[in-house]
Amino acid sequence: MTPGKSAETARPARRRLSVDRRREELMAAALELFSTRDAEDVSIDDVASAAGASRALVYHYFGGKQELYVAALRSAAEQLESRLRPQEGGRPLDELASGLRRYFDFVEEHATGFAALLRGGPANRAGEVGEIVDGVRQRLFRLIQKQMSVDEPSPVLRMTVRSWIASVETAGLDWLEHRDIERPTLEKLLVDHMVALLRVAAAHDGDVSRLLERLV
């Protein structure tokens, strides 16, 4: 040690981060853990260790595991919703394909956030977590409704679109797990899946039949 320098001054300086940056790091670490394990199995110590932070720091920023869990999922949801903002100008099915590309861009770039979001929010989950996941689904539903130029969907169309959204979510999780199909192929498959569902629905609903004629 250099004469005149104490052990304290010789120790490497600890990295100083802004409040927002530190929160982002903690949420990123939490999403990584929540994407592969149930929330009940993840502890504050796990998150602190993964983020290279102290247990006290996690509590300082979030108050507890539930607050951290909700904040991490909300962060993932906000990132995904930002990708789903409508981009007008093309045919409805082309716009649907464009929306799917942006959706799967998020799935690929933020795999842990996407997996944690859907693992954390099954359809029967109540409370804030369920509201976060349902908010993403509602945003996607409204986007499709706008692309189809439908002001008030019939019950048959509503159920058809919501069923398709569930299929897109399942396809995203399956693709992350296996990655044994090319993304463009998967996206085209899901567009064709929507058309197939609409053809079935058209047999039961005149409004859907007229919509399908306009779309294809």
Give the pLDDT score at 199: 98
Query: Residues 168, 191: contact at Cβ < 8 Å?
Result: no
CA–CA separation, 216 and 214 (whole Å): 6
Q: Would you state the structure tokens that stand for residue 211, as one six-digit string?
A: 């919509």
Q: What is the pLDDT of residue 17?
A: 57
Query: Which pLDDT belongs to residue 125?
Result: 53
Cβ-contact 173, 118 below 8 angstroms = yes
Q: Is the pTM of this model over 0.85?
A: no
Q: ∠ CA 112-134-168 to the nearest 5 degrees?
A: 60
127 — phi, psi (to 5°)?
A: 80, -160
Name the nearest CA neighbour of 146 among 80, 61, 89.
89
Yes or no: say if 78 and 135 are a contact pair by the CB < 8 Å rule. no
Nearest alpha carbon to residue 136 among 147, 123, 155, 148? 123
Report yes or no: 106 and 80 within 8 Å, Cβ to Cβ: yes
The CA distance from 112 to 73, in Å, is 10
- pLDDT lower than 50: segments of the chain: 1-2, 4-14, 121-124
